[in-house]
Amino acid sequence: MAFRISEKYRLELRWGKVSYKTDGEAVLTGCCFSGPVIKEVTQMNQQDYMELDFGNQYIVFVSRFYIASLSWGGVKHTADKIYLYNVILKNKYVNSVPKLNDNDYIIIDTANHEDEKHQHNLVYPSYLLRCDGESYNFKG
């Protein structure tokens, strides 16, 4: 599966462990954002969320769309990473589509989320990748 994201707008979400304790939720521990766009982030809210659109990648499993809500309850900024705490990925399909692995990561396209464009773009195109950087191609 090919996808194009300008390096300038590339945001990576990595985690150390994923667990599925509640239906519709994946708990991600040891989470952080990294990537070139981190230099543009001024400050993030301690408690917030973003909507990740996995529609292009998960279309074979979900008939219409697959938008998952990524929420967190704490952040810590460093020069090259933003650490997230109490992170949950929610969607009613999260337990029925292929599960995330501990060493997977998500690439998020933030191109349409600069201040002047953000209010017109409510979701972030996102892609699940394996630890080797290859995109999962669920279409076969």
Give the other-Cβ count within 10 Å of 21's Cβ: 8
Q: Model confidence over 42-100: pLDDT tens digits?
A: 788 999 999 998 876 655 556 666 788 999 999 999 989 999 999 999 988 777 667 88
Domain extent for 37: 7-129
In a domain, 104, yes or no: yes
Residue 74: exposed, middle, or buried by beta-carbon count in 10 A (0-12, 13-18, 19+)?
A: exposed
pLDDT score recorded for residue 111? 84
Q: Mind spelling out the 3-state secondary structure of 103-126?
A: CCEEEEECCCCCHHHHCCCCCEEE
In a domain, 134, yes or no: no
Residues near 69 by beta carbon (within 8 Å), at least 6 away in sequence: 49, 50, 51, 52, 89, 90, 91
Tell me how many domains the chain contains.
Answer: 1
In a domain, 33, yes or no: yes
pLDDT score recorded for residue 27? 96
| Whole-angstrom distance, CA of residue 16 vs CA of residue 103 | 7
In a domain, 139, yes or no: no
In a domain, 101, yes or no: yes
Between 124 and 84, where is the model more confident? 84
Q: What is the pTM for the complete model shown?
A: 0.83
In a domain, 2, yes or no: no
Angle at 62 between CA 52 and CA 98, to 5 degrees: 75
CB 105 within 8 A of CB 61: no
In a domain, 103, yes or no: yes
Which pLDDT band, with edges at 50, 70 and 90, does 1 fall under? very low
Provide the phi-psi class of 78: left if phi over 0, else alpha when psi is between -120 and 50, else beta. Answer: beta
Q: Has residue 12 got a pLDDT over 70?
A: yes
In a domain, 135, yes or no: no
Mean pLDDT, the chain, integer: 82
